[in-house]
Homo-oligomer: A and B are copies of this chain.
């Protein structure tokens, strides 16, 4: 219901935009008021999401654009490639779309990242709108302007920082999300507690059962607070020169898990969940947090239906394999791995750690 809609503003000067959050927003024409004028729009979706929501979005946009084109990409992280991205450019050029054409990303993180990068690059930049249909993309990937595609040698290695004109988070669409993907999204929600807001963490502990039951008021609060925290961090550091890195709590280990298992075997949020446990344990062994904090985090992650241990990536030398994968991560500099650690509950810090200690953590946290 539109009257329940909430808003979060992302303050980035000329690139500021609004996130609107609520039930039924996707199909509401008012959700798209005030967007740049254009004669054409392109809805980019995938073969899973389009049958569910593309018609409703198109209907909501009718009257705003005289031509509305649609493109369905294949579903899945393995299709986050240049070859598939090229299809967006193909449609735009075949239809003679000009540099004012507005792109709508209707789907999860893969659709959002690819559509965003296409918008950043088509004629050197056209407007785009995020309509995220997964919890993960509502609380994380659709906010902050990171766009991109994978390269055979690494994930998200090619892309752009490019801000959407708006993010429309329709909470009703989460009802159709598979349980495993819903849990994966909760990993990023949980993340915001240890790095920024332990009151939110306390609330998550009290509300995890409601969230797992898709209780709408709880969902709205979880999405809004996640977006608020991300907005605050991104507002301070749009291009990830420093502070923004704290959003990657759990991601250094998590990316190694995703890459080591082969993309798609573990969901991103699952890798982040196990990665947060490992990063928290590393923080503990460095004397930054106590065992109680780690246990609380592990318990909350478990209640969200997420893994609390990393997988064995190499039977012979598992820790070495993790380290090797982490050294290839985007955040590493001159081969040094940068970890996002918890300095104290509610506050993150980015720093390196001795390989020996990291190996011990990997050994303790994988099975």
Q: Interface of A with B (CB < 8 Å)?
A: 39, 82, 86, 89-90, 93-94, 96, 98-100, 120-125, 146-148, 151, 153-154, 156-161, 239-240, 327-328, 330-335
Contact = CB atoms under 8 A, between A and B. Distances in A.
A153 B82 CA distance: 16
A176 to B, nearest CB: 31
A93 to B, nearest CB: 4
Contacts of A100: 333-334
A363 to B, nearest CB: 25
Contacts of A146: 124
A96 B328 contact: yes
A98 B333 contact: yes
A153 B332 contact: no
Interface centre among A94, A100, A159 (most CB of B within 10 A): A159
A336 to B, nearest CB: 9
Contact of A96 (B125, B147, B148, B335): B335
| Majority secondary structure of chain A interface residues (helix, strand, loop or mixed) | mixed
A90 B239 CA distance: 23
B86 A121 contact: no
Given A98-B334, A125-B160, A334-B98, A151 B93 contact: yes
A127 to B, nearest CB: 12
Nearest to A121: B158
Nearest to A98: B333
A125 B157 contact: no
B93 A39 contact: no
Given A89-B151, A151-B89, A151-B93, A160 B121 contact: yes
A252 B345 CA distance: 59
A153 B93 contact: yes
Contact of A124 (B82, B98, B148, B327): B148
A98 B335 CA distance: 8
Given A151-B93, A154-B93, A330-B99, A161 B124 contact: yes
8 contacts: A39-B334, A82-B82, A89-B158, A98-B335, A99-B331, A100-B334, A121-B148, A123-B330
Interface centre among A93, A94, A147, A148 (most CB of B within 10 A): A93
B122 A161 contact: no
Contacts of A153: 90, 93-94
Contacts of A334: 39, 98, 100
